[in-house]
Chains A and B, each alone.
Chain A
């Protein structure tokens, strides 16, 4: 089946640093979503992207839909302790209903 490779798998950063993570695939997607998940809770939608090349911000978060439609990245600027959690990308293939999730990036912020 289709795979979404998400990296890095985990990262430890200092408070105030910027963070970047990405998802890549060999398949072409027509939607990219970025979620944050806290332990024991459901994923919370952060940013949705619908067009190749689209760059969208939500506060300190910025995400881009890759021009090839096979990748996306998420940046977090000036990280704070509450940014701790697992970040997932999810992509929807053209002509399908389902979303495929990446393997997640576990972010830990050191105060």
Chain B
């Protein structure tokens, strides 16, 4: 069964460093998403991506964040200069008829 995959599963970084989180969406899906979940809280929408451009973004998704689909399979989230409050689980999701989530990347900013 096709699934969304994410790497790495856990990323530890120093405050101010750049991180890139990677996702491989389900191959025939056209809509891609990044979400964030701070420990113990609900899942929060960050950004949606369709037809090689951002289709919608939340107020969380400020200039420190960017997304890219560098080739036909990968979908990346870059955080340019990480802050302590960026520590969270980051989930990629892709949507065909329905939206499926990846297993997440746990980002820890020290």
Q: Please, which residues of chain A bring their CB within 8 A of the CB of B98?
A: 33, 45, 48
Contacts A98-B56, A98-B58 given; indicate if A42 touches B42 (C-beta within 8 A). Answer: no
- Measured between beta carbons, the chain A residues less than 8 angstroms from B102 are 42
* Residue ID in chain A nearest B44 by CB atoms: A101
Write the nearest CB–CB distance from B12 to chain A, whole angstroms.
16
- Partner of B103 from the list A41, A45, A96, A98 (CB cut-off 8 Å) is A41
- B100 with A103: CB separation less than 8 A: no
Q: Is the CB of B100 within 8 A of A45?
A: yes
Contact of A44 among B45, B55, B101 (CB under 8 A): B101
Contact of B99 among A40, A99, A104 (CB under 8 A): A99
B100 and A104 form a contact (CB under 8 A): no
B48 contacts partner chain A, Cβ-Cβ < 8 Å = yes
Q: Give the residues in chain A near B33, CB-CB below 8 Å.
A: 97-99
Task: Show 6 A/B contacts (Cβ-Cβ < 8 Å), sorted by A.
Answer: A42-B102, A45-B101, A88-B42, A97-B48, A98-B33, A99-B99
Are B31 and A43 interface neighbours, CB within 8 A?
no
CB neighbours of A1 from chain B (8 A): 58-59
Per-position binary interface string of chain A over residues 74-110, scored 1 when its CB falls under 8 Å from any chain B CB and 0 otherwise: 0000000000000010100000111111111000000
